[in-house]
């Protein structure tokens, strides 16, 4: 019984170590960093909208004089 418990404990520790290495490999990629940054910007925008604060940046707004034509 002790041997079986020891084998399961060793398997659990090895699995945890492999999972940690795999997670570290994913976290340190550029794709993960860009995705996390985009998520932070999205959460910040949703928080601002939910709080009722203005989120409009005058530099990015379209004026009524701007016209967009659609070609069919």
Q: Look up residue 29 and give its DSSP letter.
A: S
Dump pLDDT digits (tens) for 39-55: 888 887 777 777 766 65
The structural domains of the chain, with segments of one domain joined by +, span 21-52
Q: Report the predicted TM-score, pTM, of the whole model to 2 decimal places.
A: 0.44
Buried b (16+ CB within 10 A) or exposed e, 6-41: eeeeeeeeeeeeeeeeeeeeeeeeeeeeeeeeeeee
Q: Residue 59: pLDDT above 80?
A: no
């Amino acid at each position: 019984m002790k041997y079986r418990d020891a084998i399961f404990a060793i398997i659990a520790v090895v699995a945890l170590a492999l999972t940690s290495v795999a997670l570290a490999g994913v976290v340190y990629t550029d794709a993960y960093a860009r995705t996390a940054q985009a998520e932070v910007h999205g959460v910040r925008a949703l928080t601002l909208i939910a709080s009722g604060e203005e989120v409009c940046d005058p530099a990015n707004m379209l004026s009524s004089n701007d016209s967009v034509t659609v070609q069919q």
